[in-house]
Structures are given as structure tokens and as C-alpha cells.
Copies of this chain bind each other. A is one copy, B any other.
């Protein structure tokens, strides 16, 4: 048994189970213990756990973090619900325990993070940009949160660079054909049986196009991002927000 000692909060949920499996499969990591509803957080101190992954619930995540930081345990957090107020509280705890690193990220799929970054970087070099997101037909919202966020990042990059709106000579449109508009970027949502979660950013200028496509085929797709967080936190004290901060881009 060697390597970084990793524990998991919410280890019996779907996501938690996948993380436990990923940790157990990694040669440089050792799984210590899972803590679920009703279990004591002291399981982590008892097992000398160094990093804890938290995919739990907004109701309990703050108590979890308070305990972990106070005990010198690094944290990788995928739980949602972090307002600026909450982040400030976490920063306060960390200032009292300056050796501890905490990563809070809304999206652990490396491909989604890379897609957004690349799209934003490329956006100002192209006349036109549109986003197509494609999901299974059980999804309630259109466009997806990731597509919405991607369009915002593209829109902001173009506004900062002073690039105008994508050209569009449409004068006769059947209602909805040209998609939704987010920050001057057209976004199209496809819902199709057999799909999982997919997104394409299309960029075009005279004579050429660039397409950045991300396909997420199963839930395991967040695991590599979580492991990147686990491996990085010991060497990165303080609060880190967003997986992209750990990537060399």
C-alpha cells in the first residue's frame, strides 16, 4: 500500500462508487475509507486520509469542509451550491490552515473544460461561431448548462476583442430554425434517443472552419478530472476554483 491516501464522501452514491473504483485502479493512489450518511467524519482522521473527494449535497458540504480543513485534509469538491458567500467562508477556514488545498469545480469532465477553453481562445479569430449541443431526450432544459456557459465564454471573448456579431443574411425564418441566442451566439439543442451528452462548437471564416466536439458517453467521464484534482491538491494550498486552473493551457 502506497501513494496518496484518498477517502470519499458519498461513497455509496452512483458518482461516489465510480470515484472509489477510479481511485482503486490508480497505481499512485490508495483508497482509505468511504463516509456516507450516518458515518463519522473521523473515519478520515483515523485512517490518515490525505485527500477527500466530496460529491455530496449543498446541505452538508460546508460541515464536511470545515472538518477536513481543520484536520489538515485536502479536498476535491464536485458538490454544487457554492455562492460567493460560501466561498468566502471556505477562504476564511483556509487562511487559518494555510497548508490545506481545496478544489471546488462545477465540471470535472476534462473534455468539457478543454472545449470551453479552446472555444473561447479561438472565438476572436473567426467571423462566425455557433454551438450545437446534442443530448438524450430525457433532458429537461434546452440549451444545456454547459452549452449556455460555452456561449457566454465565447460571447465575452468576442466582445473583449471587439469582434462583431456573426454574419447572417436570414430574412425568411421558420420560427426557431436559427436556434436560441446567448450573448449573440446561436445555440441549437438536439434531443435524440441513443445519445448521451455531446457538444460541438463550430467556428468559420473565409474558406475554413474549425470544429471542437466533445462526446461524453458515460458517467465515468468525470473520473480523470477528479483524479487530476486529487493528485494536485497536496501541492496547491488555498482555494482553487475550476478544474482549468490545474491544467497547463
Instruction: Please report the C-alpha to C-alpha distance between residue A134 and residue B203 in the assembled complex, in whole angstroms.
Output: 12
**Given A140-B170, A191-B168, A208-B110: A196 and B217 interface contact (C-beta under 8 Å):** yes
Contact with B along A210-230 (1 / 0, CB 8 A): 111111111111011000100
Q: Does A142 contact B (CB under 8 A)?
A: yes
**A125: nearest chain-B partner, CB-CB:** B110
User: Scoring A residues 189 to 210 as 1 if CB is less than 8 Å from chain B, else 0, what string do you get?
Assistant: 1111111100000111111111
**Other-chain residue from B171, B177, B214, B247 in contact with A189 (beta carbon distance below 8 A):** B177
- Check: A97 CB closer than 8 A to any chain B CB: no
In the complex, how many angstroms separate the beta carbon of A65 from the nearest chain B beta carbon? 27
Indicate which residue in B126, B169, B180, B182 contacts A139 across the interface (CB closer than 8 Å). B169
A166-B182 contact, Cβ under 8 Å, with A207-B220, A224-B125: no
By the criterion CB–CB under 8 Å, are A137 and B176 in contact?
no
Interface of A is mostly: mixed
Chain B residues with Cβ below 8 Å from A177 are 142-143, 176, 179-180, 187-189
From B122, B129, B132, B228, contact of A114 by CB (8 A): B122
Report the minimal beta-carbon distance from A141 to chain B, rounded to whole angstroms.
Answer: 5
